Amino acid sequence: MPEMSDAQNITETAEPSGGGGDVKVNVGVAAIRAALKTLPGGPGVYRMIDADGQVLYVGKAKSLKKRVASYSNLNRQSIRIARMINRTRSMEFVTTHTEAEALLLEANLIKRLAPHYNILLRDDKSFPYILVTGDHDFPQVLKYRGARNRKGEYFGPFASAGAVNQSLAVLQRAFLLRTCTDSVFDARTRPCLLFQIKRCAAPCVGGAGRDEYGELVDQARQFLTGKSKAIQQRLAGQMQAASDGLDFEKAAILRDRIRAMTSIQARQDINAANVGEADLVALHIAGGQACIQVFFIRGGSNYGNRAYYPAHAADAEPAQIMEAFLGQFYSNKVPPRLILLSHKLTEPVVMTAALGERAGRRVRIETPTRGAKRGMVGLALVNAEQALGRRLVESASQRRLLEKLAERFELDGPPERIEVYDNSHISGTNAVGAMIVAGPEGMVKNAYRKFNIKNTAMTPGDDYAMMCEVLTRRFARALDEDPEHQGTGWPDLVLIDGGAGHLSAAEQVFAELGISDVAFCAIAKGPDRDAGREKFHLPGRNAFRLDSRDPVLYFLQRLRDEAHRFAIGTHRSRRAKQVERSPLDEIQGVGGARKKALLHHFGSARAVAQAGAADLEAVDGISKALAGRIYGWFHPDE
């Protein structure tokens, strides 16, 4: 008798609906076969859904019928896919005209739904660009992020805001372009400091006419599109002519502009002389993890790079990871004309067509094997290998710390998610609670949360009541969203900055909510707030200290300090917003323009409050009725 496969061992079976009670059919396979009956044979996207309505997997296919049919035979699947089929209870489909359209739709759905069995690109923030505006006679140069719906020319993307700021500083020094807003530009009556330090041509006050400023803008465009050498040669000729004419001030200005352009060219760590516009995408896999480095080449210059760590199954092939990454990465970005890869794709024609459709023009995908392009990809590959090495070392170190933490606190295992809570206020005002999150990969900053304290009945400054409110709001919502505690949003350990009283407050909240499977601990500062002498309070245990040289203690101090930093920053931000608010903001009928007119006329909100109704009426834009309303706001008893 043949041995039963692992895939068969994990299946869930059900009686077929049409009789034959001796035959067992896998529930997931039955759902897939039911969907096959009316499935078309053309291209499209399919979704596999579990009993709770959660999407397990999103896939695309040239022929939906053939691809879905491949899931109906459980014996041909890997363990992971067999588990996915076993959990499937229904399927949904979207037909498309072409396979390229299906690929784009698949990428969008994966990003939006984050299915458990797909390769996921988790960090996909938008990139900043440099925008030379086109809606003003004197264009402005600025950093821009978001939908490209403002009129003008966009240059980028840049890998980071720092790279954009660096380039903007060069553009200011080299081309003297304005960075001020249109409203500031229109209101200027004399040059600003940037003109004094030779960072702007001061077109706002006639320092440069429209034609002269337009020439500077054209030079900046050429520089951003890779024609810097021609500009440098032209400026060098002008500098020499100015020097020969004994106009040394002008020659010095031109010299500084040339130096600014040279400085950014000298920092290129990838020789992109033969490539005007391209993205270099290099993949390295080690230790069951993957790192993808993306370098942005624009105008022959390196605009920076960024590392990504897509989540994937241990048995995922490099081509699968690369294809999933490209589809999701370019779903909200315009692909360049050339994409250079370290690994070949299994379906390069489909990916090329999809990205070309996304860009609205031809896109080439190449995997170079020799020459300068291969050298560029090789350098990107070295960066990917080094970045993944650093991440694996940090991850291993973090994992060891978590194992030791579990040992010290007698947890069931190393915590995957730690939540740390702290409060901040001044005499009870502007009270806020803060939550930070840490895990095996370090701080999870996109999971941080802040809570504005809403309970007005509590005694101002009651730290215990504030902590009760924060924990109640956090875990009541968690229970509502995931009552079975199956998701990744539930913590394995809750740390509270405080002592025995805070521990009691947490015990009360968890008891009222019926939560018994979350470990929690309060960290009390040592005598005289001495770091290294913290006391740890856990339910059912006497308070204890850790050795001052214990790395677990240092780790917990870092977590506590990060929670404190986040809480203080949130509190200060809220307090600053309150300070910035004016009493005039509360008066109906007083908008921005009238508020500005009142402040310009009286000098301050206090002077407005002290003014008589007739004085208020004398302000431009303030009618007699509105003057009476403003006066009545500040003098309700009258």
Distance, in Å, from the CA atom of 266 to the CA atom of 60, rounded to the nearest integer, reads 45
Residues 277-390: name the CATH superfamily: UvrC, RNAse H endonuclease domain (3.30.420.340)
pLDDT at 124: 58
CATH class of 583-634: mainly alpha
Q: How confident is the model at residue 268 (pLDDT cuts 50, 70, 90)?
A: very low
In this predicted structure, the answer to whether residue 123 has a pLDDT above a threshold of 80 is: no
- Beta-carbon neighbour count of residue 452 at 10 Å? 10
Least Cα distance to 179 among 147, 128, 132 occurs for: 132
Mean pLDDT across 212-218:
87
Structure tokens at 321: 């990871």
Tell me the CATH architecture of domain 6-113: 3-Layer(aba) Sandwich (3.40)
Least Cα distance to 215 among 197, 229, 203 occurs for: 203
Q: What is the pLDDT of residues 138-147, one digit of tens each?
A: 888 888 887 7
In this predicted structure, the answer to whether residue 485 has a pLDDT above a threshold of 80 is: no
Q: What is the pLDDT of residues 605-617, one digit of tens each?
A: 777 888 888 888 8
C-alpha dihedral, 378 to 382 to 383 to 388, nearest 10°: 130
Mean pLDDT across 443-464:
84
Cβ neighbours of residue 31 closer than 8 Å, sequence gap 6 or more: 88, 89, 90, 91
Contact of 497 with 560, CB cutoff 8 Å: yes
Contact of 296 with 305, CB cutoff 8 Å: yes
| Model confidence, pTM | 0.56
What amino acid occupies position 620?
D
Least confident of 12-16, 215-219, 629-633: 12-16
Q: How confident is the model at residue 456 (pLDDT cuts 50, 70, 90)?
A: confident
Q: What is the pLDDT of residues 162-182, one digit of tens each?
A: 777 777 777 777 788 888 888
Contact of 188 with 195, CB cutoff 8 Å: no
Angle, in degrees to the nearest 10, between helices 210-224 and 161-175: 140
What amino acid occupies position 21?
G
pLDDT at 406: 92
% of the chain surpassing 90 pLDDT: 16
List, in sequence order, every residue forming a beta bridge with 21; answer none if it has no partner: none
- Beta-carbon neighbour count of residue 134 at 10 Å? 12
What amino acid occupies position 518?
V
Mean pLDDT across 104-115:
83
Distance, in Å, from the CA atom of 390 to the CA atom of 309, rounded to the nearest integer, reads 12
Mean pLDDT across 375-401:
82
3-state secondary structure of 432: strand
pLDDT at 7: 39
Distance, in Å, from the CA atom of 401 to the CA atom of 382, rounded to the nearest integer, reads 29
Start and end residues for every CATH 3.30.420.340 domain found in the chain: 277-390, 418-578
CATH class of 418-578: alpha beta
Structure tokens at 607: 């002077």
Mean pLDDT across 552-567:
88
Least Cα distance to 384 among 275, 294, 310, 271 occurs for: 294
Q: What is the pLDDT of residues 352-365, one digit of tens each?
A: 998 998 888 999 99
Least Cα distance to 555 among 392, 408, 389 occurs for: 408
Sign, CA torsion 573/579/580/586: positive
